[in-house]
Amino acid sequence: NAGVMQNPRHLVRRRGQEARLRCSPMKGHSHVYWYRQLPEEGLKFMVYLQKENIIDESGMPKERFSAEFPKEGPSILRIQQVVRGDSAAYFCASSLARRDTQETQYFGPGTRLLVL
Amino acid sequence: SQQGEEDPQALSIQEGENATMNCSYKTSINNLQWYRQNSGRGLVHLILIRSNEREKHSGRLRVTLDTSKKSSSLLITASRAADTASYFCATDRNDYKLSFGAGTTVTVRA
């Protein structure tokens, strides 16, 4: 059973470009979470999605960031008009059921975004 | 502000020694989890301890939880070079948002 997959693993963008980060959850998992890790810091929650629904996006910046988890295909975190401050590692996690039933979140390897 | 904060920030030990790191948090929690992150890699879930548990073991790992002091400790016994990594505690307040600290970087010298 493959783990959580993220691609690309590394992404370089110039200021003003768009970044698209993909996450395929573990097989059978329908809950996806995105976290951001700035250098020398812990992970910060961004958004929680289920298939075709955004459950909680309270950790997402109000502008330029969006996320989706379509019925078919991976979850996508999209950052428009990237700025240098967006440079970070973005991690996706998935769980079998809703988090508050104490299901473990399994993390992907992350996408490291560098904005030049 | 971060819910969990690890102490120390960095730890260097000799292979075979034990490594202990601590985590403090601010609000009540449902459970506390420890993760390991090797340099440039993703997070590996190590152990989950629920708020009504005081101690838990998994292989060479021992985790304690003191809810009255809002603190937890992770002990790695008989450390190996492969234990070199950053260790994070993450608190779960009965929602889906894990709150991570900044981590403890552990270096195990051969």
User: What CA–CA distance (Å, rounded) separates B32 from A102?
Assistant: 10
Q: Amino acid letter at A41? A: E
Residue B47 has pLDDT above 50, yes or no: yes
DSSP string, B65-86: EETTTTEEEEEE-S--GGG-EE
Which chain A residues are Cβ-neighbours of B99 within 8 angstroms? Answer: 45
List CB contacts (< 8 A) between B98 and chain A: 33, 35, 43, 45, 105
Q: Is the pLDDT of residue B1 over 50?
A: no
Nearest beta carbon to residue A110 from set B30, B42, B97:
B42
Tell me if B42 and A108 make a contact (CB, 8 A cut-off): yes
pLDDT of residue B14: 96
Q: Which chain B residues are Cβ-neighbours of A31 within 8 angstroms?
A: 96
Å between A61 CA and nearest CA of chain B = 16
Mean pLDDT of chain A: 91
pLDDT of residue A52: 87
pLDDT tens digits for A92-106? 999 887 655 566 788
Look at residue A29 and tell me whether its pLDDT is greater than 50.
yes
B63 pLDDT above the threshold of 70: yes
Taking CA atoms, what residue in A is nearest to B6? A42
In percent, the amount of chain B with pLDDT more than 70 equals 95
Taking contacts as CB-CB distances below 8 angstroms, the residues of chain B near A105 are: 45, 98
- Joined tokens for residue A23: 């996450």
Whether residue A61 is predicted with pLDDT greater than 90 in this model: the reply is yes
Banded pLDDT at B90 (limits 50, 70, 90): very high
The chain B residues in contact with chain A (CB within 8 A) are 2, 4, 30-31, 33, 35, 40-45, 48, 50, 88, 90, 92, 94-103
Question: How confident is the model at residue B35, as a pLDDT?
Answer: 94
Query: What is the predicted pLDDT for the residue at A83?
Result: 97
- Work out the average pLDDT over A55-77: 94
pLDDT for A43-54, tens place per residue? 999 999 998 899
Report d(CA B75, CA A55) in Å as an integer.
36
Q: How far is CA B62 from CA A102, B21, B33, B57, B100, in A?
A: 20, 11, 12, 5, 19
Residue A15 pLDDT > 90, yes or no? yes
Q: Do A44 and B98 touch (CB under 8 A)?
A: no
Q: What percent of chain A has pLDDT over 70?
A: 93
Q: What percent of chain B has pLDDT over 90?
A: 71
